[in-house]
Structure 1
Amino acid sequence: MERGRIGARIKMWRERKNLTVEQLAAKTALDPGFIRSMEDDGASPALGPLVKLARALGTRLGTFTDDELSDDPCITRATERTPDRAVQASGGKCLAMTYHHLGRGKADRHMEPFFIRLEPEACEPALSSHEGEEFIVVVSGQVVLRYGQEVHTLAAGDSMYYNSVVPHHVGAGGGQAAEIYAVIHVPF
C-alpha cells in the first residue's frame, strides 16, 4: 500500500466522526503527535495502534489497509504476495517487522490474517494492548512472546493464542529473523 494512504484514510474516518486528533488520541490512548504523524507525514504504524484506531472509529482494520475488494474465496498465493509495509519500532529507531496482509480485499471478514517476518530487535520492545484475540503459528526461527509479566519462547511449529487486551509483544528471538502466521480478531 502506498505510503501515506493509511494516514489519509484514518484522517477521513476521524473527520467523518467529527473527532479532533486529541479526542481520537483520548479514545485510543495513543499520543496525538503520533496520530498527526500518521495523518500528515505517512508514518507507518504497527498493527496494535491500527487496531486501536479502527476500534475507536467503529470500523474494521481492513478499512485502512485494503485497496480493492475481491470475490470469495480470497486466495493469496505465497509466490505472489508482496510486503504491505515494514514497520519501525520504538519511535522509528529499528525495524521490527515486515508484514503481508493475507485477507486484503475480503469485504465481510471478521479476522485479519497476516504473514509476518520479525526482524531481530536492536532496541527494547514496547508492549501494546488492544481489544480482541490473536492466534500465531511460528513458521521459522525463534519467537519471544512477552505477555504481561510472562516471557515465552516458541520454535517453528509452535503456536500461541491469547487475549490481546493483556499488554504483549511478539518479536524474534535468538538474534535471528523469524516468520509467523498471525490471525487477529477484533470485535467491533
Structure 2
Amino acid sequence: MARRSEEQPATEIAAASEAHGGAAVSDGPEIQAVMSGVGRQIRSLRKVHGLTLEELANRSGVSVGLLSQVERGIGNPAFNSLARIAHALNTPIAALLHTGPDQSPVVRRHERRRLDVHAAGTTGIEAIHELLTPSLNQQLEVIEIQAPPGYSTENEPFSHAGEEFGMVIEGRHEVNVGGQSYVLEAGDSISYLSSIPHWYRNPGPEPVRAIWVITPPTF
C-alpha cells in the first residue's frame, strides 16, 4: 500500500488537499492546467538556482526526459517524482502544487530571491544578484546587482537572445558590449541587444549597485 501511495499521480494528491468547487479534479483540461503551472514553477526555480536540466536530474534522481516533460506541462508524474524535484530545489512541494493566479505582484525586500548563476564572476570575487520581479515566468526580468570592486565577467562574456537595460545606482560599472567598453557612473544607463557578446566589471574603488532589466528572462 505504501508503494502505491508513492506512485499516486501528483494531481490526485493536489485535488485531495484543495477544494475545487466541492468536487475533486478529474482528468482533462483541469489536470493539464495544473501540470502546466507546476512545470512553470519548476522551470522558474531551476533557473533561479542556475541549474541545467542535467544538473537538476542528477540532484533529484529524476530523468532529464521526465524533467523536460514536466516543465512543458506534459503528463501527470508520480507524486514521489515531484517530491524529489522539490527537495533538489530546496522548496516545499506545496510551492510547486500551488499554481493559482493569486501571486502577489509585490516583492518585499526580505522576500527577494537570490540568483546563484555567475555569482563569483571570473575573478573569484562574488557579486549578489537579487530578483526584483515575482517570478521568471513573465516577459521581463529585473534584478539588482551588488558587485564589489574587482568583480568581473570579462573571461566569460554573455550572449543570448533578447534585450537588456541597466542603470547604475551607486559606484562605477564598466559594461563591455561587442568589444566597446562603457564606464557608467551613478545615474547613467545603457541598453543593448543581448545577442551581442557583453561582460561587466567593477573597476573600483567603491562597490556597485545597479538595476538590470532583461527580456526575455535569462537567468
The interval holding the TM-score normalised by the smaller chain is: 0.5 to 0.7
Q: Structure 1: which 5+ residue stretches go unaligned?
A: 20-41, 43-65
8 Å contact 1:137–1:160 — kept in the other structure?
Answer: yes
Summarize the alignment of residues 1-188 of structure 1 with structure 2, pairs less than 5 Å apart: 6-7=50-51, 11-12=56-57, 15-16=64-65, 71=102, 74-78=105-109, 80-81=111-112, 83-85=114-116, 87-90=119-122, 93-105=123-135, 107=137, 109-121=138-150, 125-126=154-155, 127-186=157-216
Choose between structure 1 and 2: higher helix proportion. Answer: 2
Q: Secondary structure at the match of 2:120?
A: strand
Aligned residue in 1 for 2:74: none
Q: CA deviation at 1:98?
A: 0.6
Go from structure 1 to structure 2 and tell me whether the alpha carbon gap of 1:14 and 1:156 turns closer, same or farther (over 3 Å shift): farther
**Quick one: percent identity of the two aligned structures?**
22
AA at the equivalent of 2:168: V
8 Å contact 1:131–1:187 — kept in the other structure?
Answer: no
Q: CA deviation at 1:134?
A: 0.6
Q: Secondary structure at the match of 2:159?
A: coil
TM-score (norm 1): 0.58
Offset from partner CA, 1:107-166 (integer Å, 9 cap, x none): 4x1111101101222667222211111111111001101111211111111111100111
Q: Secondary structure at the match of 1:87?
A: coil
Go from structure 1 to structure 2 and tell me whether the alpha carbon gap of 1:131 and 1:76 turns closer, same or farther (over 3 Å shift): same
The RMSD of aligned alpha carbons is: 3.8
Go from structure 1 to structure 2 and tell me whether the alpha carbon gap of 1:119 and 1:167 turns closer, same or farther (over 3 Å shift): same
Distance, in Å, in 1 between the alignment partners of 2:166 and 2:212 is 4
User: Higher Cα Rg: structure 1 or 2?
Assistant: 2
Go from structure 1 to structure 2 and tell me whether the alpha carbon gap of 1:150 and 1:104 turns closer, same or farther (over 3 Å shift): same
AA at the equivalent of 1:170: Y
Distance, in Å, in 2 between the alignment partners of 1:187 and 1:100 is 13
Distance, in Å, in 2 between the alignment partners of 1:143 and 1:150 is 14
Q: CA deviation at 1:6?
A: 4.5
Count, aligned residues: 139
Q: Secondary structure at the match of 1:16?
A: helix
Q: CA deviation at 1:88?
A: 1.4
AA at the equivalent of 1:118: A
Go from structure 1 to structure 2 and tell me whether the alpha carbon gap of 1:15 and 1:146 turns closer, same or farther (over 3 Å shift): same
TM-score (norm 2): 0.51
Choose between structure 1 and 2: higher strand proportion. Answer: 1
